[in-house]
Amino acid sequence: MAPQEADVLIVGAGLSGLIAARTVLAAGLTPLILEADTRVGGRILTEELGGLPVELGAQWIGDTHHRMFALAAELGVQTYPQYDDGETSYELAGTGVLRGNEFHSRFGDELAELEKVLRRLDELAAEVSPATPWTAPHAAEWDAITAGAWYDAQGLSPAARTLLEICTVGILAVPTVEVSFLHLLFTIQTCGVTSELFAESEGGAQTTRFVGGTAEIPNRLAALISEHIVFESPVQLIEYGTDSVVVHCRGGRTATGKRVIVALSPMLAGRIGYDPPLSGYRDQLTQRMPNSAAMKAFFIYDEPFWRSDGLNGQLISDIGPARMSNDTCVLGDDRGVILLFLEGEQARTHTQWSEEDRRAALTAELVRHFGDRAARPLHYLDGEWGSRQWTRGCYNANCGPLVWTTYGPALAEPIGPIHWASTDTATEWSAYMEGAVEAGERAAREVIEALTA
Ligand X SMILES: Cc1cc2nc3c(=O)[nH]c(=O)nc-3n(C[C@H](O)[C@H](O)[C@H](O)COP(=O)(O)OP(=O)(O)OC[C@H]3O[C@@H](n4cnc5c(N)ncnc54)[C@H](O)[C@@H]3O)c2cc1C
Q: How far is the CB of 261 from ligand X (least distance, A)?
A: 11
Is 37 one of the binding residues for ligand X (CB under 6 A)?
Answer: yes
The C-alpha atoms of residue 227 and residue 224 are separated, in whole angstroms, by 9
- Closest residue to ligand X: CB criterion: 14
Which residues face 294 on adjacent strands?
343
Residue whose CB is less far from ligand X, 13 or 160: 13
Q: Which of residues 422-441 bind ligand X (CB under 6 A)?
A: 422-423, 431-436
Q: Are strands 87-91 and 97-99 parallel, antiparallel or unpaired?
A: antiparallel
Is 411 a binding residue for ligand X by CB under 6 A? The answer is no
Q: Contact with ligand X (CB under 6 A): which of 31, 175, 204, 234? A: 234
- As measured in angstroms, the least distance from the Cβ of 164 to ligand X is 21
Residue from the set 7, 12, 21, 114 that interacts with ligand X by CB under 6 A? 12
Window contacting ligand X (CB under 6 A); options: 8-16, 191-199, 280-288, 366-374? 8-16
CB 296, min distance to ligand X, A:
5
Nearest residue (CB) to ligand X, 163 versus 261: 261
Q: How far is the CB of 389 from ligand X (least distance, A)?
A: 8
The 148-177 site mask, x for binding ligand X (CB under 6 A), equals ------------------------------
Site for ligand X in 55-84 (CB under 6 A): 57-61
Shortest separation between residue 30's beta carbon and ligand X, angstroms? 18
Q: Which of 9, 10, 15, 197 binds ligand X (CB under 6 A)?
A: 15
> What character string, x for contact with ligand X (CB under 6 A) and - otherwise, covers 308-347?
----------------------------------------
Among 10, 23, 42, 338, binds ligand X (CB under 6 A): 42
Residue with Cβ nearer ligand X (159 or 272):
272
Cis omega (within 30 of 0) for bond into 158: no
Q: How far is the CB of 125 from ligand X (least distance, A)?
A: 19
Region binding ligand X by CB under 6 A among candidate stretches 176-184, 261-269, 354-362, 405-413: 261-269
Q: How far apart are CA 130 and CA 139, in angstroms?
A: 12
306 or 420: CB nearest ligand X: 420
Shorter beta-carbon distance to ligand X: residue 108 or 273:
273
What are the φ and ψ backbone dihedral angles of 416, each rounded to 5 degrees?
55, -125
Q: Quick one: which of 8, 29, 32, 34 contacts ligand X (CB under 6 A)?
A: 34
Tell me how far, at minimum, the Cβ of 144 lies from ligand X, in Å: 28
Q: How far is the CB of 419 from ligand X (least distance, A)?
A: 13
Contact between 257 and ligand X (CB under 6 A)? Answer: no
Is residue 210 a contact partner of residue 72, using CB atoms and an 8 Å limit? yes
Half-sphere exposure of 382 (CA within 13 A, CB side): 25
In Å, what is the CA distance from 214 to each residue of 78, 203, 397? 10, 20, 21
Segment interacting with ligand X, rule: CB under 6 A, options 73-81, 105-113, 322-330, 386-394: 386-394
Dist CA 451 CA 19 (whole Å)? 18
Confirm or reject binding of residue 407 to ligand X (CB under 6 A).
Answer: no
Binding mask 283-302 for ligand X (x = CB under 6 A): -----------x-x------
362 binds ligand X (CB under 6 A): no
As measured in angstroms, the least distance from the Cβ of 385 to ligand X is 5
Nearer to ligand X, 54 or 92 (CB): 54
* CA 453 vs CA 29, 121, 445, 448: distances in Å: 13, 42, 11, 8
List residues near ligand X by CB under 6 A.
Answer: 11-17, 34-37, 42-44, 57-61, 234-235, 263-265, 268, 272, 294, 296, 385, 390-391, 394-395, 422-423, 431-436
